[in-house]
Structure 1
Amino acid sequence: MGKLLKNISDNDLFDLADLFKVFSDSTRIRILYSLFDEGKNVNTISTELEMTQSAISHQLRYLKETNLISSKRAGQSMIYSLADDHVKTIIKMGLEHLWEK
């Protein structure tokens, strides 16, 4: 086991479990994947995912609270984007794991 894992606290492990819970919802994963290459507004995301704006807004709020996405105002719209490349890495690694078979 590497040094990183030897010195990790139980609280850090609980926080890590909470982070992975965020990824347990297929709608949230679809939203994050939608934001891989560019920022988008709620309307664009809801159209792409064929879901209501209300449902998308609810999940965006949760993703923002968990620091996986960020937002910025563009005129009257909010543009949502991935908070950083770590989000992409987590999803890519999960997909690689699934495709290893």
Structure 2
Amino acid sequence: MKDRCCDYSKEFDRAKENLVEEEILYDVAELFKAFADTTRIKIISVLQEEELCVGAISELLNMSQSAISHQLKALKNAKIIKSKKVGKWVYYSLNDEHIKKIYDMGLEHITKG
């Protein structure tokens, strides 16, 4: 190893053992990128408790169905939401409790931080 300003070999070795694979870190960064859009956050907020179709989300957020559909695709690709078809309607909901927790923690950090 290169010369260091202090002896941290134990800490270095522990940190090296705990390194997360590059591909996993990339996927985590992509997840947070999906959260980095106001419209997508608004969609996540309305899907917190309810499963909704594009029309309902569009009306709630006062946005075009086209704009909502575009963002829903991005959220689905990031595995943040899931969809189910009921007859001719497609309903969207959060993919799992992890997404709700991430959103809730971000909201709490901003409002109570």
TM-score relative to the length of structure 2: 0.80
Runs of 4+ in 1 over 6 A off after TM superposition: none
Matched, 1:58 2:83: no
Alpha-carbon distance in structure 2 between the residues aligned to 1:83 and 1:37 = 12
- Please name the residue that 2:11 is paired with: none
Which amino acid counterpart does residue 51 of structure 2 have in structure 1?
Answer: G
- Please provide the CA RMSD for this pair: 2.1
Offset of 1:48 from its aligned partner?
Answer: 0.1
Alpha-carbon distance in structure 2 between the residues aligned to 1:99 and 1:27 = 19
Gaps of 5+ in 2: 1-13
Matched, 1:20 2:32: yes
- Please name the residue that 1:40 is paired with: 52
Structure with the greater alpha carbon radius of gyration:
2
Offset of 1:11 from its aligned partner?
Answer: 2.2
Q: How does 1:57-96 map to 2 (within 5 A)?
A: 57-96=69-108
Offset of 1:99 from its aligned partner?
Answer: 2.4
TM-score relative to the length of structure 1: 0.89
Which amino acid counterpart does residue 75 of structure 2 have in structure 1?
Answer: L
Alpha-carbon distance in structure 2 between the residues aligned to 1:32 and 1:100 = 20
Determine helix, strand or coil for the equivalent of 1:97.
Answer: helix
